[in-house]
């Protein structure tokens, strides 16, 4: 029973069926079995947030779940944010506000912010700061990220233009 098992879920709307050992994390599975390497792994123990994805709409650490737990789930990763050439408001705001430098933490921050803003579109300033404290950035710092997410909050409230 420690042997590989078949698991099916969708990632960004596309169906995936993978064969994985129960001990394989969802993060490793997304990267290695689904071939989607936008989801990054920093600490692999739930502290840094680089691996944050949306699981049925909730921002979660994909390194703290096993892939076998994702049976039937709808997963969204950073690859699913843009619609074709049209960037998600968060992605555009990160560019406009210089909210990334090396970019390693960026996919995690984008998915964290996407999940938080979708769940709580009217989240207040304290709530936003508290939520963004979930992830680590080691070069840009946090103020530009906060600025970008504030912009995106306004853009997402206004709806697609």
Instruction: List residues binding other proteins (CB under 8 A).
Output: 1-2, 5, 21-25, 28, 44-46, 49, 52, 55, 58-61, 63-66, 68-69, 112, 115-116, 130-131, 133-135
CB of 58 to other proteins, least distance (A): 4
The Cα 110–Cα 58 span in angstroms is: 13
96 or 130: CB nearest other proteins: 130
Q: What are phi and psi of 158, to 5 degrees?
A: -70, -20
CB of 44 to other proteins, least distance (A): 6
CB of 43 to other proteins, least distance (A): 9
112 or 152: CB nearest other proteins: 112
> In whole angstroms, what separates CA 152 from the centre of its chain?
15
CB of 93 to other proteins, least distance (A): 19
CB 27 within 8 A of CB 62: yes
Residues whose CB is less than 8 angstroms from the CB of residue 64 and which lie 6 or more positions away in sequence, other chains included: 25, 45, 46
């Amino acid at each position: 029973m420690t042997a590989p098992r078949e698991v099916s879920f969708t990632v960004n709307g596309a169906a995936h069926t993978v064969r994985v050992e129960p001990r394989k994390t969802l993060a490793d599975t997304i990267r290695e079995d689904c071939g989607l390497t936008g989801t990054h792994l920093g600490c692999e123990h739930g502290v840094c947030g680089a691996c944050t994805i949306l699981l049925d709409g909730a921002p979660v650490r994909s390194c703290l779940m096993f892939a076998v737990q994702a049976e039937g789930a709808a997963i969204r990763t950073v690859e699913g944010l843009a619609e074709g050439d049209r960037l998600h408001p968060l992605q555009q705001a990160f560019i406009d506000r210089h909210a990334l430098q090396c970019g390693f933490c960026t996919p995690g921050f984008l998915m964290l912010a996407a999940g938080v803003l979708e769940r709580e579109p009217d989240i207040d300033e304290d709530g936003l700061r508290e939520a963004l404290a979930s992830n680590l950035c080691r070069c840009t710092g946090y103020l530009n990220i906060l600025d970008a997410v504030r912009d995106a909050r306004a853009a997402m409230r206004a709806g697609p233009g």
